[in-house]
Chains A and B, each alone.
Chain A
Amino acid sequence: MAKYLLLKHYRGAPAPANDVPMEKWTPEEISAHVQYMRDFAERLEKSGEFVDGQALAPEGTWVRYDGEGRPPVTDGPFAETKDLIAGWMVIDVDTYERALELAGELSAAPGAGGRPIHEWLELRPFYATSPTATDDCHAGG
């Protein structure tokens, strides 16, 4: 099994095919979208592939240490040009192909006109937590 992070962006991803902001959809289209996302997460839980999913508010600030005894320096809220993550889902799947398949399904969530959004999602593999036992064998022997 391998874990993957599916990242969804408010900004910074290439424009999707069906690029209409949500407040310009009909209320029914919003309901259909929300339902699709819920069903997707539920299906993954049932298949034993869901690990975690969270959504982030669109505000954010850059922060860094500014030396002993000083308050941290902040820069924010994020400028309009900044890449902005909207949320993530962590999945635990058997193969990379399966991860691609699921990301594709998530990107097909319906938007304006009930048509798929074709949203670009970022798929990132986690590092494995430790070398596998068989790697140890090779290294040791």
Chain B
Amino acid sequence: MDETTAPPAAEKTAPPVDEALLRSLTPGVLTILVRRGADFAAAEDAVQDALVEAVRVWPADPPRDPKGWLVTVAWRKFLDATRADTARRRREDRVDEEPAPGPASAVDDTLQLYFLCAHPSLTPSSAVALTLRAVGGLTTRQIAQAYLVPEATMAQRISRAKKTVSGVRFDQPGDVATVLRVLYLVFNEGYSGDLDLAAEAIRLTRQLFAAFDHPEVAGLLALMLLHHARRDSRTAPDGSLVPLADQDRTRWDTTAIAEGVRILQSALSRDRLGEFQAQAAIAALHADAPTAGETDWVQIVEWYDELARLTDSPVVRLNRAVAVGEADGPRAGLAALAALDDSLPRHTAVAAYLHERDGDLATAALLYAEAARKAPNLPERDYLTRQAARLNSRGSG
């Protein structure tokens, strides 16, 4: 094409900015700024400003080295902000000197950033928001929309979170378990609005997996992949829930399942079992069954026993009761259930299911209706109401 006569319309056809690339570069750019001496909160603001600038400038003028571009612009933004801050007190020549470009971010820098954003001094909601912004490269608006809160509220939450961790030294080692819990929280938020939080959680866990060799990181990534593989089959076209046994297994994402199983097997072979690996093992056994009837419930019960040993969580014992009901019959399941506190979330729903399997349809119908009233969300409430309706209309019809 003749460059001199290229019409301005060519700009309009320029490809949009690769947001996935931008987001993936965010933590690396941020850690370089911090390594150069910027404090975390100011560096994080500067990186956000640079991301906004990139979205504006890149379509017409794509950089040859996107990361280098971001580092340069973010550093300039940081200096501008610092200068504006310090000008009132005294000009510092020191900050005018741009240091030599730092080395490409080392993997452990990324890990430090995860630790900082999941710092135990943060509340879960703050840690989630900070992780999505500083590690995930999402804008405050995107995070606010995903969590259905006003943007000003989310901005305040993030700014308070940054203040909370401002005194934490960046190179202080953290506990990977806190990071995994935050990522798991993001994953479980699922899908609301335009942003797919489950996919975002998988991306961040994958990034962590690449940076940090730990069997539980692998376990969480495997668990997410195995669950995500079933997502499309979990909802009917009318929005209603489809339980595992009724899902169309041909719609499961076999590529994601294969990857999840591979990552899990490699983690398990290291013989350092943790709760995410155990949960992933259960998900893998479900994924492995060609039909619901061929599910290896005996092995699933064994994994629940492992999980109960690792976490001692009542929710795990509740799920175990369901598995026992499948492996050893509904009476055994009900016996396992009887040992648990009946105020546990979903206890009534499990009781309803086991009574139905046991043939006591009248009790099951009553329990389903009661479980519907206690359901923690609308899809579950509608599902449980339908179960009650199904049994009731069978009785009368």
Distance from B71 Cβ to chain A, minimum over Cβ atoms (Å): 42
Partner of B389, one of A24, A38, A55, A58: A24
Partner of A23, one of B238, B240, B389: B389
Binds A, one of B28-36, B154-162, B368-376: B368-376
Asked whether A23 lies within 8 Å of B369 as measured between CB atoms, the reply is yes
Could you say which residues of chain A place their CB within 8 Å of the CB of B392? 23-24
| Chain B residue with the shortest CB-CB distance to A22 | B385
Q: In this assembly, does A30 line the interface, its C-beta being within 8 Å of a C-beta of chain B?
A: yes
What 1/0 mask marks residues of chain A from 23 to 63 whose CB sits below 8 Å from any chain B CB? 11111011100110010000000000000000101110000
Give complex CA distance A38, B382 in Å: 13
Distance from A10 Cβ to chain B, minimum over Cβ atoms (Å): 9
Asked whether A23 lies within 8 Å of B365 as measured between CB atoms, the reply is yes
> Known interface pairs A34-B382, A55-B378, A58-B373. Does A26 touch B239 (Cβ–Cβ under 8 Å)?
no
Asked whether A31 lies within 8 Å of B385 as measured between CB atoms, the reply is no
23 A-B pairs (CB sep. < 8 Å): A21-B369, A22-B389, A23-B365, A23-B368, A23-B369, A23-B372, A23-B389, A24-B392, A27-B386, A27-B390, A27-B393, A29-B389, A30-B385, A30-B386, A30-B389, A31-B240, A31-B386, A34-B238, A34-B239, A34-B240, A38-B239, A55-B378, A59-B374
Give complex CA distance A31, B382 in Å: 9
Give the interface residue-count category, chain B.
Answer: 20 to 34
- CB neighbors of A among B347-397 (8 A): 365, 368-369, 372-376, 378, 382, 385-386, 388-390, 392-393
Chain A interface residue count, CB cutoff 8 Å, equals 17
> Known interface pairs A23-B389, A27-B389, A30-B389. Does A35 touch B238 (Cβ–Cβ under 8 Å)?
yes
Could you say which residues of chain B place their CB within 8 Å of the CB of A58? 373
Asked whether A25 lies within 8 Å of B389 as measured between CB atoms, the reply is yes
Asked whether B373 lies within 8 Å of A31 as measured between CB atoms, the reply is no
Could you say which residues of chain A place their CB within 8 Å of the CB of B372? 23
Give complex CA distance A59, B374 in Å: 8
Asked whether A23 lies within 8 Å of B382 as measured between CB atoms, the reply is no
| Chain A residue with the shortest CB-CB distance to B382 | A34
Main secondary structure of the interface of A (DSSP, over half): helix
Distance from B72 Cβ to chain A, minimum over Cβ atoms (Å): 43
Binding site for A on B (CB under 8 A): 238-240, 365, 368-369, 372-376, 378, 382, 385-386, 388-390, 392-393
Distance from B397 Cβ to chain A, minimum over Cβ atoms (Å): 8
Distance from A39 Cβ to chain B, minimum over Cβ atoms (Å): 11
**A-B CB contacts (within 8 Å), total count:** 40
Could you say which residues of chain A place their CB within 8 Å of the CB of B390? 27
For B368, B373, B385, the residue with the greatest tally of chain A CB atoms inside 10 Å of its CB is B385
Give complex CA distance A34, B385 in Å: 12
Could you say which residues of chain B place their CB within 8 Å of the CB of A23? 365, 368-369, 372, 385, 388-389, 392
Could you say which residues of chain B place their CB within 8 Å of the CB of A31? 238, 240, 386
Beyond A26-B389, A27-B389, A31-B240, 12 additional contacts (C-beta under 8 Å) are A23-B368, A23-B385, A23-B388, A24-B389, A25-B389, A25-B393, A29-B389, A31-B386, A34-B239, A38-B239, A58-B373, A59-B374
Could you say which residues of chain B place their CB within 8 Å of the CB of A34? 238-240, 382
Could you say which residues of chain A place their CB within 8 Å of the CB of B240? 31, 34
Could you say which residues of chain B place their CB within 8 Å of the CB of A24? 389, 392
Give complex CA distance A30, B393 in Å: 12
Could you say which residues of chain A place their CB within 8 Å of the CB of B393? 25-27
Could you say which residues of chain A place their CB within 8 Å of the CB of B374? 59
Distance from B394 Cβ to chain A, minimum over Cβ atoms (Å): 10
Give complex CA distance A57, B376 in Å: 8
| Chain B residue with the shortest CB-CB distance to A59 | B374
| Chain A residue with the shortest CB-CB distance to B376 | A57
Could you say which residues of chain B place their CB within 8 Å of the CB of A55? 378
| Chain A residue with the shortest CB-CB distance to B368 | A23
| Chain B residue with the shortest CB-CB distance to A29 | B389
| Chain A residue with the shortest CB-CB distance to B379 | A34
Give complex CA distance A38, B240 in Å: 12
Could you say which residues of chain B place their CB within 8 Å of the CB of A57? 375-376
Give complex CA distance A84, B389 in Å: 23
Closest A-B pairs by Cβ, 8 of them: A23-B388, A23-B369, A26-B393, A27-B386, A27-B389, A27-B390, A22-B385, A25-B389
Distance from B240 Cβ to chain A, minimum over Cβ atoms (Å): 7
Could you say which residues of chain A place their CB within 8 Å of the CB of B368? 23
